[in-house]
Amino acid sequence: MAELHDLTALEQGAAVRRGEVSPLELVEHYLARADTVGAFVTRVPELALARARALPDGGGSPLHGVPTAIKDLNPTAGVRTTFGSAAYHDHVPETSDDVTSSIEAAGMVWLGKTSTPEFGSPCYTEPEGLPAAVTPWDRTRMAGGSSGGAAAAVAAGLVPVAQGSDGGGSIRIPASCCGLVGLKPSRGRISGAPMYGDPVGLATAGSLARTVRDAAALLDVLAGRRVGDPSWAPEPSTTFLAACDAAPGRLRVARFSAPIIAETDVDVECLQAWEDASALLESLGHVVEDVPVPLDRAAVGVFETCWAVLTALSSAPPGREQQLRPLTRWLSGRGHAVTAPEFGLAIGQLRRLAAQALTALAPYDLVLTPTLASPPLPVGALRDDADPAADFAAQKAFTPWTSAWNVTGMPAVSLPLHWTPTGLPVGVMLAARPAEEALLLAVSAQVEAAVPWAHRRPPGW
């Protein structure tokens, strides 16, 4: 007989609606599972049990009654939120953000806060003084970042689905490392209310899940604009979950594998995954064409300027600056050196470079690249506290494609289509035109139906 955590998130929601299992039973089941992957920094068992008991019967969301978790970058009223930083070890917000509120309004029960690196900046999740988040496929290797704790939790069966956030690949990177679906939606699809902490428009919340349909269902929970939003994606004509059942038609797919933001070698397993995905898309009736890299290399320096300023905005409380990690202090120093006019010009230049890329890709329905330049690396392989510049360069070499779609605002998904001979997951990334998540999900579901992956279980499942 299957364990409760063997069920997908949607299957658990359906079981709740049929009365076969209660939200309380689901919460109790997941709370009893040990965290051996560094997924959580804070657990709230009493709060989760109380919420499960208080849930009304039914509910509008297919995920009503399903357990989940909240990334430690998202404020949660009355529950410690550290932003991955020792400088905020005792910070307890008075209000939650809209991501948290949307999850609660859908009747989902969050069990705690998932691990993230300091201010969500690095692409590895190794917060100071805490266990690193690791992939359950090999617990000596990184879960990726910055949504590493969320990905580790889903991949290890500690929650069935979880939200993450993505400003340069922070959902898709851990999805690739952990063998998951990682969906970054379009700019403006999910509100940043009430903080609106990213004036550049790089970051958004999104889904980490074992299946495309679970990722779509969570996107339905999170999506929607608020009155004060500076930008928003147009309302979809149907739910994102329903989009998974639509036939995508014959699509034109652009593909390239040349790294965008760094001169780096690409592991043969990542290239093989990309080649196999190309052949699979062609076998499904799509047209796959090689194209030049659509984003000008000049975007790299402009992106780094904006990234450094955003890091500088994430300052420590007065008197706690020395508790920040060396990488954060180095990036903040770069950000503080940027004048206000320079920052404004950088945002404008990033918009123009994004427009050029979108124009180049306009004839294509999808874009296919590898997700990462390597399978998951050993813990500590990228981190270099003694030389933050080298740390940052190593991160760029590991993630040479993901940030491009944050610059353009396009929706993008990492799909777990490949495993190495030693059993490590390798993701492949698809991106679509802005606001075309429905098409991206339709073809992703088509790919999953052709080569299912949800039956795969990591050691210790």
Instruction: Write out the catalytic residue numbers.
Output: 71, 146, 170
Token pair of 319 as six digits: 């008197």
* 345, amino acid identity: L
Round to whole Å and give the CA distance between 116 and 412.
21
Residue 129 zone, left/alpha/beta (φ > 0; ψ -120 to 50; rest): left
- Residue 195: name the closest of 205, 182, 185, 183 by CA: 205
β-bridge pairing 181-184 and 204-209:
antiparallel
Using the Cα atoms of residue 149, residue 376, residue 403 and residue 215 in order, give the sign of their dihedral. negative
User: DSSP letter string over 230-293?
Assistant: S--PPPPSS-HHHHTTS---S-EEEE--S-SSS-----HHHHHHHHHHHHHHHHTT-EEEE---
Instruction: Give the list of residues 6+ apart from residue 428 with CB closer than 8 angstroms, or none.
Output: 273, 274, 277, 368, 369, 370, 371, 414, 415, 417, 418
Q: Which residue(s) pair with 71 in the sheet?
A: 114
DSSP 141: B
Helix (H) / strand (E) containing 432: strand 425-432
Q: Helices 268-283 & 437-450, crossing angle to 10 degrees? A: 100
Residues 6 or more apart whose Cβ sits within 8 Å of residue 65 = 12, 13, 16, 22, 23, 26, 52, 55, 59, 107, 108, 109
| Exposed/middle/buried for residue 238 (C-beta within 10 Å: 0-12, 13-18, 19+) | exposed
The DSSP result for 24-75, as a single string, is: HHHHHHHHTS---SS-EEEE-HHHHHHHHHHPPS--SSTTTT-EEEEETTS-
